[in-house]
């Protein structure tokens, strides 16, 4: 049975990704920083083709990331798929000229350093898989080539840096398929009710990269199963 870990998976795109992977028979480690919400989410996903197990993981807590990796290493010999999904947009992330640096720092800690720390901590388990895959959930807001806008500058900066983390990991780890995904604008707590995409649509390319994409495809940025410019 293949194994997958999804961060920030108690709701939104992460929850839907965990659901779709369990439906396809993956053993899923559903992780969240809120224990109660994570346990409830895992319980709701019981009875699918693959088991869903809650593990506490706050991606911005370096010690906690290490503890989660140790706990999962007790439960499995290998990790086939890591989905770095957890992400935040903080209040006050409104304008690059005035945004408070603590807001920028906290956003980078969660959205950029979090995925890097998780990838580092789970590297031994990933390297024990035959075809390991790391999928970083990024955003078109981090795209440099399309021209930067003005909304949520700390968030956009964190996703540009996450894209760089993706490319650097892909270059350094040729045995692992490491890719970034923009899910599009999705109806979640982050995306809001007016977003055009469902969570099913938002999770589609993530799940495709986790299951069907060629393991040779690494170091790319994807949307709708197509490579897009950084
Ligand atoms: N929705 C969109 O339109 C859209 C567009 C482009 C990219 N994305 C990206 O898609 C990903 C998922 O977003 P979403 O729309 O599903 O948002 P969401 O519904 O707000 O979910 C975000 C998840 O991340 C978790 N999280 C935040 N900080 C965390 C931490 N330090 N440790 C662990 N988990 C943490 C949240 O947990 P709590 O509930 O505890 O806060 C929540 O479960 C994010 O990376 C986001 O940037 C979303």
The answer to whether the pTM exceeds 0.85 is yes
The CA dihedral of 84, 86, 87, 91, to the nearest 10 degrees, is: -170
Record the tokens describing residue 54, joined without a space.
Answer: 């809650």
* List of residues 6+ apart from 43 with CB closer than 8 A: none
Is position 159 annotated as part of the catalytic site? Answer: yes
- How high is the pLDDT of residue 158? 98
Does residue 127 register a pLDDT over 90?
A: yes
- E-assigned strands of 42-129? 52-56, 81-84
Instruction: Summarize the confidence of residues 131-159 as an average pLDDT.
Output: 96
Question: CA nearest 100: which of 157, 151, 149, 154?
Answer: 154
Tell me how far CA of residue 121 lies from CA of 71, 77, 87, 217, in angstroms.
Answer: 11, 14, 18, 23
Mean of the pLDDT values across residues 204-222? 98
Residue 64 burial (10 A CB sphere; 0-12, 13-18, 19+): middle
pLDDT at 140: 97
| Catalytic residue chosen out of the listed positions 2, 11, 15, 155 | 155
Q: Are 50 and 22 in contact (CB under 8 A)?
A: yes
Please state, as a whole number, how many other Cβ atoms lie within 10 Å of the Cβ of residue 92. Answer: 13
CA of residue 49 to ligand 1 center, whole Å? 25
Q: Which residue's CA is the closest to the ligand 1 atom numbered 34?
A: 8
- Please report where in the chains the tokens 């603590």 appear, as a residue: 102
What confidence tier does 146 reach under pLDDT thresholds 50, 70, 90? confident
143 close to ligand 1 (CB < 6 Angstrom)? no
CA distances from 166 to 43, 52, 133, 219, 221 (A): 32, 26, 12, 6, 9
Query: Strand 52-56 vs strand 177-181: parallel, antiparallel, or unpaired?
Result: unpaired
Q: Does 60 sit in the ligand 1 pocket, CB within 6 Å?
A: yes
Query: Distance between CA 88 and CA 156 in Å, rounded?
Result: 11
Q: Both tokens of residue 191?
A: 């995306």
Cα 130 to ligand 1 centre (Å): 29
> In a mutational test of the pocket of ligand 1, which residue from 86, 156, 163 has the highest number of ligand atoms less than 8 Å from its CB?
86
- Helix runs in 110-191, H state only: 114-127, 153-172
Active site residue 155: yes
Q: Token pair 């109660």 is at which residue?
A: 36
pLDDT digits (tens, 9 = 90+) for 190-204: 999 999 999 999 999
Please determine, for residue 147, whether its predicted confidence score (pLDDT) is greater than 90. Answer: no
Q: 132 near 126, Cβ under 8 Å?
A: yes
| pLDDT given for residue 186 in this prediction | 98
- Edge to edge, the sheet with strand 52-56 lists 52-56, 27-32, 3-6, 81-84, 133-137, 177-181, 221-223, 226-228
Q: How far is the CA of 8 from the centre of ligand 1 (A)?
A: 6
Which pLDDT score is estimated for 191?
98
Say if ligand 1 is within 6 A of residue 158 CB: no
């Amino acid at each position: 049975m293949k194994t997958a870990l999804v961060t920030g998976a108690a709701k939104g795109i992460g929850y839907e990704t965990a659901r779709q992977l369990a439906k396809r028979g993956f053993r899923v480690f559903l992780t969240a920083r809120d224990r109660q919400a994570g346990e409830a989410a895992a319980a709701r996903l019981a009875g699918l083709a693959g088991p869903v197990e809650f593990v506490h993981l706050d991606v911005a807590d370096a010690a906690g990331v290490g503890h989660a990796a140790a706990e999962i290493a007790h439960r499995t010999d290998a990790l086939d798929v890591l989905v770095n999904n957890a992400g935040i947009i903080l209040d006050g992330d409104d304008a690059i000229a005035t945004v408070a640096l603590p807001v920028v720092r906290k956003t980078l800690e969660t959205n950029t350093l979090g995925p890097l720390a998780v990838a580092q901590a789970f590297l031994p388990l990933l390297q024990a898989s035959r075809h390991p895959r790391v999928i970083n959930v990024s955003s078109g807001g981090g795209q440099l080539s399309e021209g930067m806008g003005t909304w949520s500058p700390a968030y956009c900066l964190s996703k540009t840096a996450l894209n760089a983390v993706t490319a650097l990991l892909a270059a350094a780890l040729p045995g692992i398929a490491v890719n970034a995904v923009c899910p599009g604008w999705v109806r979640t707590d982050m995306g809001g009710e007016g977003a055009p995409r469902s969570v099913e649509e938002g999770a589609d390319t993530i799940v495709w990269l986790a299951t069907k994409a060629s393991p040779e495809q690494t170091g790319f940025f994807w949307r709708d199963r197509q490579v897009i410019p950084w």
